[in-house]
């Protein structure tokens, strides 16, 4: 995939920066999180595999799932069977794409910073890895038995951990670029207004 194709994809995603897209997705994201918190998080007695920011080892995964117990694992399954964590990455990716498209290219520097517009593709990468992680977790929960050998889920544990780590890498990268973009655009906006006022004052003099 060359830079021209990447820019074309980025330009298509820029259509998502409309407030008619951003506001509804933020509202949906809020209620999705609320459902996850009320129906899953509050009912669990410990962390889940999604909690490991750097991924997890096989031993950590088995201990985590064992500590949840039968009831805890059934509740954990509802995170996927009720589609809470299937829809969440999609909604979050749309929200982040919309926000990044609003902030890049930079204010009054659209031509010189046009390449930065491709940052809005990063949430798509986050979404892909999150959904891949979800698939692995669904398979792990499906086949996991505390009393049996875990070799049948070894591959899912390996890739699930890998996708979990990459998911958080892209997620936090998106957040960093978003806050950086907001800060830089604010400074550029203030500087532009000050320069404009100075020019008006000079004309008056």
On the question of pLDDT at 150 being above 70, the answer is no
Would you place residue 146 in the very low, low, confident or very high pLDDT band (cuts 50, 70, 90)? confident
Contact 150, 39 (CB under 8 A): no
Q: What is the predicted pLDDT for the residue at 204?
A: 60
Q: Of 91-95, 147-151, 192-196, give the range with the top mean pLDDT.
A: 91-95
On the question of pLDDT at 145 being above 90, the answer is no
User: What is the distance between the alpha carbons of residues 189 and 13, in angstroms, rounded to a whole number?
Assistant: 24
**Considering the entire predicted model, what is its pTM?**
0.90
More confident residue, 105 or 170: 170
Q: How many domains does the chain have?
A: 1
Each residue's pLDDT tens digit, 91-107: 999 999 999 999 998 88
Token match 């930079």: residue?
A: 106
Each residue's pLDDT tens digit, 1-59: 677 788 888 989 998 999 999 999 999 999 999 999 999 999 998 899 999 999 999 99
Q: Report the range of poorest mean pLDDT among 68-77, 147-156, 182-191.
A: 147-156
Host domain of residue 162: 3-204
On the question of pLDDT at 133 being above 70, the answer is yes
Q: What is the predicted pLDDT for the residue at 67?
A: 94
User: What is the distance between the alpha carbons of residues 31 and 204, in angstroms, rounded to a whole number?
Assistant: 54
Cα–Cα distances in Å, from 146 out to 67, 79, 154, 194? Answer: 10, 20, 14, 66
Q: What is the mean pLDDT of the chain?
A: 91
On the question of pLDDT at 203 being above 70, the answer is no
């Amino acid at each position: 995939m060359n830079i021209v194709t990447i820019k074309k994809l980025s330009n298509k995603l820029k259509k998502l920066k409309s407030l008619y897209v951003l506001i509804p997705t933020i509202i949906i994201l809020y209620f999705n999180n609320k459902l996850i918190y009320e129906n899953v998080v509050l009912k669990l007695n410990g962390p889940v595999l999604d909690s490991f920011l750097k991924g997890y080892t096989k031993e950590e995964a088995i201990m985590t799932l064992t500590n949840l117990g039968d009831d805890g694992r059934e509740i954990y399954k509802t995170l996927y069977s009720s589609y809470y964590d299937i829809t969440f990455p999609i909604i979050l990716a749309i929200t982040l794409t919309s926000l990044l498209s609003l902030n890049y290219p930079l204010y009054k520097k659209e031509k010189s910073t046009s390449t930065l517009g491709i940052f809005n593709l990063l949430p798509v990468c986050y979404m892909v890895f999150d959904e891949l992680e979800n698939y692995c977790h669904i398979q792990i929960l499906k086949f996991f038995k505390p009393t049996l050998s875990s070799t049948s889920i070894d591959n899912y544990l390996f890739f699930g951990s890998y996708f979990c780590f990459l998911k958080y890498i892209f997620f936090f990268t998106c957040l960093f670029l978003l806050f950086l973009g907001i800060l830089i655009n604010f400074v550029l906006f203030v500087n532009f207004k000050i320069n404009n006022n100075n020019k008006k004052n000079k004309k008056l003099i």
